[in-house]
Amino acid sequence: MAGKYNICLDIGGTKILGAIFDEKGEIIYRLKKKTKEGGDSTENVEEVIISVVSEMLKEADIKKKDIHAIAAGAPGVIDQDAGVILFSPNLPWRDYDIASPIRDQFGAPFYIGNDVNVGVLGEYKHGAAQGYHNVAGFFVGTGMGGGLILEDKLYTGHKFKGAELGHMVLNSEGPLCGCGQRGCLEAFSAKKGMSAYILQQASRGRESMLTSNIENGVFKSKALKKALAAGDPVATEAVDRSCHYLAIATGNIINIFSPDIVIFGGGVIEAVGDLFLEKILKEVDRYCMPSIRNTVELKKAALGDDSILYGALSMIEEKG
């Protein structure tokens, strides 16, 4: 049967993760590739996407005509109808037509959405949020993304620009964020925000195991895990600060939407999620109304690195 395989991608600024799903919705092949040094350019991203898909097809012995569709999640504000990345806070992608070269290369439909919207959709269809009707999600990585499922539908707002939960301003005099605002949740709670705090403390003469691990403005999640296990005080403070602002943001979302569940995913949660969840749970009740809070569950995402891949698959399934 022609067109029975779906190719799903998680496109980031530093890496691209790809998977081939068979007609049963099972992953039969996966591949991860780094984008090149300085690989923030659109040309490089296209090259790596095409290279990832081509290599997977070759290794799995699948021909182009057997592709049903390709779908992806990528960071930023994305016009899903046109397949254009309008703006990405931490990458120089502006009005970037990512869809055309992929469609041209593989002759298959290509769908794309904001990575965390897609990740939350993946958790709703295949992971920790299955069976719930109203879902909010925060994904903590290099940046901070959010997603919402309202009444069993992915909420993307007017022209797909909604649910930028990482850019709610929690302190108008706070640190500068990559989006141009000050005091966003991302600027406090994502790896970029935590790294900036650690470097600020280092400039005051304080030592941390993570200082030497910060490259291009961020540490690796595994390095954070090691530093916390060793009782590194500066790393611990950075995490406490991150969780404090995540608790405030979670409380706001609970008050506004009264979701059935709030899920936390992304690379940082993969590495130290139990600790993050414990700290958020200790504080969140201060920032939301008890009568709303008592019907909301807080959980870690279940699919790990694959949340966005399964969300991309869900996008294809919804298109039919």
Q: Residue 12: its pLDDT value, please?
A: 83
* Residue 303 φ then ψ, to 5°: -95, -5
Summarize pLDDT for 137-160 with one digit per residue, the tens.
Answer: 999 998 999 999 999 999 999 999
Q: Residue 41: its pLDDT value, please?
A: 66
pLDDT(194) > 50? yes
pLDDT class for 320, splitting at 50, 70, 90?
confident
Q: Residue 45: its pLDDT value, please?
A: 81
pLDDT(228) > 90? yes
Token output for 273: 């999620």
Task: Write down all domains in the chain, each with its CATH number in brackets.
Answer: 5-114+306-319 (3.30.420.40), 128-302 (3.30.420.40)
Summarize pLDDT for 14-29 with one digit per residue, the tens.
Answer: 789 999 999 999 999 9
pTM: 0.93
pLDDT class for 163, splitting at 50, 70, 90?
very high
Radius of gyration of the chain (CA): 19
pLDDT class for 88, splitting at 50, 70, 90?
confident
Are 28 and 21 in contact by the 8 Å Cβ rule? The answer is yes
pLDDT(76) > 80? yes
Token output for 15: 């890496």
Mean pLDDT, residues 87-98: 85
Q: Residue 1: its pLDDT value, please?
A: 42
Token output for 71: 């779908």
- Counting every residue written for the chain, the total comes to 320
Q: Residue 47: its pLDDT value, please?
A: 87
89: Cβ–Cβ under 8 A, 6 or more apart, which residues?
Answer: 75, 76, 143, 167, 177, 178, 179, 186
Q: Residue 127: its pLDDT value, please?
A: 97
